[in-house]
Chain A
Amino acid sequence: MISWLEKIGHRAIEVLKKVGEASLLFSQALRWTFMPPVYFKNIIQQMEVIGVQSIPVVLITSLSTGLVLALQSYTGFKRFHAENLVGTVVALSLTRELGPVLTGLIVAGRAGAAMAAELGTMRVTEQIDALSTLAVNPVKYLIIPRLFAGLIMLPILTVFADMIGIVGGYFISVQYLQANPVIYIRRTTEFLEANDIFGGLLKACVFGILISVVCSYKGFNTEGGAVGVGKATTGAVVISMILILVSDYFLTMLLFKQ
């Protein structure tokens, strides 16, 4: 019984220590962000890796989500003759919730894993130490560009996701379920407020920072060769995804409660 409690205690301390270390890394990154030199080239490169290369998967996912959402809500709403609300439901669900969350999860799985694996490999092959010996601050050179790229690209990807999802919903409703296009579009825009869109994008910003911080931290502190890199990568993806889902709940409470 005692040893059982002890184990939980140890585990809790470990977790708290990690959270502390990650926050420290984050605050260091913030402190150094505006001190020259700024590695613009690395920021652009990471925007490409995190953002541009994620566009196809994000588009496919949100398109199919838009299609299914329209189909499902149509058949559901038909039971109480509310088919004309499909456009509203699709638009609201995507902008407030599914757009940012799906984008976050996809980027965590795709770019976050790559980020942790790349930094982890650099750690175990002493490339991060080599940066230090060349008098370049590794946090500035490697982590800050990833933070910026996450912060900038996640909302942009989310805009794409929202749009293509809504277009998908429209397509299914108008082409396949014979909804009236004019009414559909009116229903979509009528109830959609700027707050819905910006709230969703704010979520995306938070997710972008979460992914970059967690995956950079995991990669940066990798230990123990190839096995270590594997562990860091898996850990990075799982933790980012959980944090996205948890923070989504609280952000939703804060942003959309009224």
Chain B
Amino acid sequence: MIEVVDIHKSFNSHHVLSGVNLTIEKGESMVVLGGSGTGKSVLLKIIMGLLKPDQGTILIDGTEIIHLREEKLNEIRKKFGMLFQGAALFDSLSVWENVGFGLMEHTSLSKAEIRNRVTEKLAMVGLKNIEDKMPSELSGGMKKRVGLARAIAMNPEIILYDEPTTGLDPIMADVINELIIKLKHEIHATSVAITHDMTSAFKIGDRLALLYQGVIHRIGTPEEFKHSEDPVVRQFVTGSSVGPITAG
């Protein structure tokens, strides 16, 4: 279970998050929606302990992670897998070394076993025969999927996805949606996914949360969101430029 309690975060004088509260139950798939620059990626990084909030706390299965020492935090991080918005592949390592990085560091599996596991995970994201390529040789969508394979390589209990389907064609996007659903059912992974893709959001989310003006504006099931009367939610779901959310 992930508990986000009253998180505040600002950069210089720019207040990005001003009191975010969100609870994600064990095994639940939460989708976070929100306009560009509203702080979704920042929120994910705070959950992972990569950024320190100015105020508020994060509990992972009841353990507060904000003031945890590096060694303890790393123990908790082993339960996590995270896909970055920009994939964040290690560009000095090949694809298989990227995907197998966690296995190499934290397990005693042999190189051959790790390569097998890597091939299997790459197949899950629809990639094959690219193990020995370098990240610079891949397209944007391929990088994203290698990043996803790396995030799930250790069979994590909690998976954080930052825009998993952005930059993919509609068919590949659906493959990834199916994969996220499958991971939820098969390994009962708890997940938080950020997306702008409403098709994907409705498909993978047990609940959706809309981040607006630094707080969670509304939270509900996909059905509730589809039929919501809330003008902000309506505007976001229908993707209209007319409404309370204004550009810039």
Interface residues of A (CB under 8 A from B): 37, 121-122, 125-127, 129-137
Which of B78-86, B121-129, B174-182 contacts its partner?
Answer: B78-86
DSSP class of B's interface residues: helix, strand, loop or mixed?
mixed
Assess whether B48 is in contact with A133, with CB atoms less than 8 Å apart.
yes
Assess whether B89 is in contact with A135, with CB atoms less than 8 Å apart.
no
CA distance A125 to B136 in the complex (A): 13
- Give the shortest distance, in Å, between B93 (CB) and chain A (any CB): 10
CA distance A122 to B135 in the complex (A): 13
Given the known inter-chain contacts A126-B86, A127-B89, A127-B91, please indicate yes or no for A133 contacting B50, CB distance below 8 A: yes
Assess whether A133 is in contact with B77, with CB atoms less than 8 Å apart.
yes
Assess whether A137 is in contact with B86, with CB atoms less than 8 Å apart.
no
CB contacts (< 8 Å) of A132 on chain B: these are 48-50, 77
- Give the shortest distance, in Å, between B47 (CB) and chain A (any CB): 11
CA distance A165 to B220 in the complex (A): 75
Q: Is B101 an interface residue (CB 8 A)?
A: yes
Assess whether A135 is in contact with B77, with CB atoms less than 8 Å apart.
yes
Interface string of B56-87 (1 = CB under 8 A from A): 00000000000000100011011011101010
Q: Which of A122, A126, A129, A135 contacts B74 (CB 8 A)?
A: A135
- Give the shortest distance, in Å, between B134 (CB) and chain A (any CB): 14
CA distance A233 to B216 in the complex (A): 40
Assess whether A137 is in contact with B48, with CB atoms less than 8 Å apart.
no
Given the known inter-chain contacts A126-B86, A129-B88, please indicate yes or no for A134 contacting B102, CB distance below 8 A: yes
- Give the shortest distance, in Å, between A143 (CB) and chain B (any CB): 13
Listed A/B pairs (6) with beta-carbon separation below 8 Å: A125-B86, A127-B91, A132-B50, A133-B82, A135-B102, A136-B105
Assess whether A130 is in contact with B78, with CB atoms less than 8 Å apart.
no
CA distance A93 to B83 in the complex (A): 55
- Give the shortest distance, in Å, between A233 (CB) and chain B (any CB): 17
CA distance A135 to B75 in the complex (A): 7
Nearest residue, chain B, Cβ from A124: B86
Interface residues of B (CB under 8 A from A): 45, 48-50, 70, 74-75, 77-78, 80-82, 84, 86, 88-91, 101-102, 105-106, 150
Given the known inter-chain contacts A126-B88, A129-B50, A130-B88, please indicate yes or no for A137 contacting B82, CB distance below 8 A: no
- Give the shortest distance, in Å, between B96 (CB) and chain A (any CB): 15
CB contacts (< 8 Å) of B50 on chain A: these are 129, 132-133
CA distance A238 to B86 in the complex (A): 31
Given the known inter-chain contacts A132-B50, A132-B77, A137-B74, please indicate yes or no for A126 contacting B84, CB distance below 8 A: yes
- Give the shortest distance, in Å, between A258 (CB) and chain B (any CB): 46
CB contacts (< 8 Å) of A134 on chain B: these are 77, 101-102, 105, 150
Q: Which of A37, A122, A129, A131 contacts B45 (CB 8 A)?
A: A129
Nearest residue, chain B, Cβ from A28: B70
CA distance A127 to B135 in the complex (A): 12
CB contacts (< 8 Å) of A121 on chain B: these are 91
CA distance A129 to B89 in the complex (A): 11
CB contacts (< 8 Å) of A136 on chain B: these are 74, 101, 105
Given A130-B90, A132-B49, A136-B101, 8 further pairs, Cβ under 8 A? A126-B86, A129-B88, A130-B84, A130-B88, A132-B77, A133-B82, A134-B105, A135-B74
Q: Which of B84, B88, B91, B106 contacts A135 (CB 8 A)?
A: B106
In the complex, which of the residues A125, A126, A129, A135 has the most CB atoms of chain B within 10 Å of its own CB atom? Answer: A135
CB contacts (< 8 Å) of A37 on chain B: these are 105
- Give the shortest distance, in Å, between A211 (CB) and chain B (any CB): 20
CA distance A88 to B89 in the complex (A): 54
